[in-house]
Amino acid sequence: MTTREFDGIRLEKVREHVWEIPREGEMNVPARVLASESLLEEIGDDDSLRQLKNATHLPGMVEPALCMPDGHQGYGFPVGGVGAIDAENGCISPGAVGYDINCLPGDTDVRLSFGRRAPLETLRDRFEDERATVATGDDLLTSEIQLFTESGSKPVYELETSTGHQIEATGDHRFETPDGMVTVDDLDAGDEVYVHPFKGLEHEAPEDFTVLSSADFEDANPQLRRVLEERGLLPLRSTDEIFNRLLKIVGFLLGDGSYGGKGQTWFYGSPEELEEIRDDVRAIGFKPSKIYERDRSHDIDGNNFERTEYSFKTTSKALRRVFVELGVTEGAKVSSGFTTPDYLDRLPDWQQALFYSTYFGAEMNAPATQHDKNLYCPKVSQTRTLDTEASGRAFLEDMAAFLDRVGIRTNDIESFETDTNSSAPTVRLRLGVKNDSKNLIRFFGRVGYRYHPEKQRSAMEAVQYLRAKEQEIERREAIASEAKALADGGCDVSDLVERFDINDRFLERSVWSGREGRPRPGDEFPGFDEYRSELTVRPDGAVAVEVERIRDAGSKPVYDLGVTHDAHTFLANGFVVSNCGVRMVRTNLTYDDVRGREEELVDALFEAVPSGLGGGGVVKGTADAVEGALERGVEWAVEAGYGIESDLAHCEDEGRRPDARPEHVSQKAMDRGRNQMGSLGSGNHFLEVQRVTDVFRGDVAEAYGLEEDGIVVLIHCGSRGLGHQTCNDYLRRIEKEHGDLLADLPDKELAAAPAGSELAEEYYGAMGACINFAWVNRQLITHQVRETFGEVFDADPIDDLGMELLYDVAHNIAKKETHEVGVDAEGRPAVGDAAVDRAERELYVHRKGATRAFPAGNEDVPETYREVGQPVIIPGSMGAGSYVLRGGDESMGVSFGSTAHGAGRLMSRTQAKQEFWGGDVRDDLEDGQQIYVKAQSGATIAEEAPGVYKDIDEVIRVSDELGIGDKVARTFPVCNIKG
């Protein structure tokens, strides 16, 4: 048996073009990929196989889960995936139907591990090697990034909080609030969102050098060196993750650590603090002791008091030697002459911050009030003997230089004489961070304290307070400036008091007296202690702040991340964040009728059919129109004058889902669809005029009304924002109401509602309504196409041009269908040895980027085509052509009556824009192949360049040879409109 393996996933060749991932572990069924050797290579090159394997965990999955020949990585479920789930005891999954990813602009800062941040778009080529910061509510953790997506240009909105935090996001991006995850579209000014005040430092790849080598341990015994080698500490390089943890520990030890006997290293602090350090000790391969507790008496300047001391130790001589070599001095710190480790200045700022921030956690005072609204200057001090004063000063000078590089100003180093210790006179050195608000915000938000949760919480309170204070000062500055201008123009000060709702003394000083420097906050603005008493900082450091405003910020290229952690959140700019089909219209025109008029035709179609991301449609989306479309589908459009009777007979389900339930579609979703009725949208959605170049099955082609050199029109689009919003609505509800089911799945993006539950029934009804809306959307575009052809060719589009619908079929859908499956002795769906017979069962057949392909004789095929089989329309790239197939005789047994839905992408949209230039693609298509393309932007053309797609001929060959979709005819583009 031939086997293949991709990233640890093994596939066995069952027969030609059929590859199986055997059932193992918690998989309910095996998984199968329907592909040739070359297509399998491309499918195995992304995350499709893992996603397909994960999908087999969905409750009630029967027979193998499938990936069609055009499969590629999706979100949760691969695009090109087909999964059949028992409709009685299984579930229905929006993630296995298909939905868009919520997105952020590329310059959004994402928090990464070790206090780094990086613009989202820069993670494209390295996301699998990174870990994002996840706020769980209880903890601030890091998580592997499993997915990076890019979605082209989309409308974004700028959200700003009362404390000045800003972020841009698409309207469907979700933000964490005290009431759960909420999309931007559902947020309003006055609502609260969670932000994390710590910002961190920009990521910079470290210089790769050896920090510790065997030469540094020449005098050590071989066993000690072997211990370090086994733990990856020898050699130790600047790029090792373990080195980052050591930087934190070394910084702490220079503050609150000491050495004892027999290789002991002692750590002192609060229990919370020590637990974090113990985690890092374990992560570098050593075992920390338990935390010890003892009461100690102290006498300072005649004041006696007792406190509880907490500590733990490590007893590894090898680890202690590493600390020594990294700069943690042996002997008394006051007289040892230690200074900054010599390797530190070769490290990027974020690595240096790991060292300094733990030192600050151990040695620096916490944020506290100096006066009501002003904070003390954070300071660190060192006591040194006179002989080692220079070393201490050098240490603080290096510290000050580091802080200056990251935008934090410090005071001059202070020096104080102290009492002579038992062996030598000493001096006290002190360095403070300047305490103006903006400087403190930078310090607490970029460096701050590590290994000291209490100080970290205080720092988060301080950042929020100081940001609020700055907002208030800026507000008063703006009032003062405007008041001065109005007074100069003749306004009376008494009128200004009422206008600005501010005290007259402030306005008088602003207008007449003048002031030096910035205004202070008013008396009504709270002091720090009052503010923090009313502020709740979550255990993960996040705080809830009020949304000040949300405004339209235009359209921008957008991206998103998917993390493996169950919380499925990440930090972006400090915020805690986390139906399609195709139809073909035939004509009685030939290619000769169109040749020479391509530009005229493409310009006219571009003018007639709205495209792109914005609103605007063919009809005015009144409430009655939207409700009619949702409930009655194409039947409503025909009655409204946007179609003909034969359109109903030539559409899947006659253009109306009888189980549609518009009442389960939210008002928000309907509002989004209202202005998009009859519009293409964007991305891979298009309208293409094509000519038939090849006919493979003449009898079937004749039944479909196709002949060589004939002109057809292919329309590929979906339910626009209405369907997207509906899917998001139900995903949120599923997460809240069926978290127990979700917890058992390997990927949260497979969120599902149990069959028979109220939520499953409501989602199924809402999805049916969205399918109706998508059919109406394509029907309205068809109407515009017919009208446009009639005008360009000066003929009646129906009587003269014969523009009849060939067929319309959905691509992203879950439908209740009856199929024959393996059953156990009691007639329940079963797999493997448990299956003793086969019987018909009602299933939810999920098709995500796959096409229903029912064979001849099936009662669900429209009567017009029942003798030859259902038409299957598979678009290719705009430079390689498309295909018309019919449902193959083997489709019901092999693929639940399904086949591919397109060529399948080979590369991301961003990669496409890097490799192709839209203008060049357009010119090459026109000059080389006489294909005329028009789009909203050159970037859209680049994203859909022929080179970004798989070989459509190979996809069709596999479908045809498997008998799941028999090729009937091939078409080739004449002109194309992209959104």
| Residue set of the binding site for Mn(2+) | 100, 685, 716, 811
The candidate with the shortest Cα–Cα distance to 684, out of 167, 72, 161, is 72
188-192 CB contacts, 8 Å cutoff, 24+ apart: 188/547, 188/550, 189/547, 189/548, 189/549, 189/550, 190/546, 190/547, 191/546, 191/547, 192/544, 192/545, 192/546, 192/547
Residues 6+ apart with CB under 8 A from 756: 88
Which residue ranges are tagged as binding site?
100, 684-688, 716, 811-812, 875-878, 882, 901-904, 978
403 vs 305: CA distance, rounded Å: 36
337 φ, ψ to 5°? Answer: 75, 20
550 vs 76: CA distance, rounded Å: 30
Lay out the sheet containing 31-34: strands in order across.
3-6, 9-15, 18-21, 31-34, 61-75, 77-86, 837-848, 813-823
Burial 306-341 (b: 16+ CB within 10 A, else e): eeeebbbbbbbbbbbbbbebbbbbeeebbbebbbbb
394 vs 339: CA distance, rounded Å: 7
Give counts: helices (H), strands (E), the chain: 29, 44
- Inter-residue contact 469 to 521 (CB < 8 Å): yes
Residues 6+ apart with CB under 8 A from 727: 94, 97, 98, 99
Quick one: 838 exposed, middle or buried, by C-beta within 10 A (0-12, 13-18, 19+)?
exposed
Structure tokens at 850: 């796959």
CA separation (Å) from 420 to 386, 423, 427? 10, 8, 9
Place of tokens 């035709």: 601
- Inter-residue contact 131 to 883 (CB < 8 Å): no
Structure tokens at 677: 């009725």
Q: Return the bridge partners of 431, or none.
A: 380
Residues 6+ apart with CB under 8 A from 223: none
966 vs 957: CA distance, rounded Å: 9
Residues 6+ apart with CB under 8 A from 33: 11, 18, 19, 20, 21, 40, 43, 49, 52, 66, 67, 71
Longest C-alpha distance within the chain, in Å? 110
Task: Choose, from 196, 452, 783, 901, the residue flagged as catalytic.
Answer: 901
14 φ, ψ to 5°? Answer: -80, -45
User: 331: phi > 0 → left, psi -120 to 50 → alpha, else beta; which?
Assistant: left
349-363 and 241-256 are packed helices; what angle lies between their axes, rounded to 10 degrees? 30
Assess whether 738 carries a catalytic annotation: no
Residues 6+ apart with CB under 8 A from 819: 84, 840, 841, 843, 845, 892, 896, 897
613 vs 676: CA distance, rounded Å: 10
- Inter-residue contact 381 to 362 (CB < 8 Å): no
- Got the DSSP string for 40-71? HHHHTTTTHHHHHHHHTTSTTEEEEEEEEEEE
- Inter-residue contact 167 to 151 (CB < 8 Å): no
Indicate the Cα dihedral angle 324, 329, 332, 337, nearest 10°.
160
Which residue ranges are tagged as binding site for GMP?
684-688, 811-812, 875-878, 882, 901-904, 978
427 vs 893: CA distance, rounded Å: 87
Indicate the Cα dihedral angle 213, 218, 222, 226, nearest 10°.
-10
667-674 and 623-632 are packed helices; what angle lies between their axes, rounded to 10 degrees? 110
Task: Please list the active-site residues.
Answer: 901
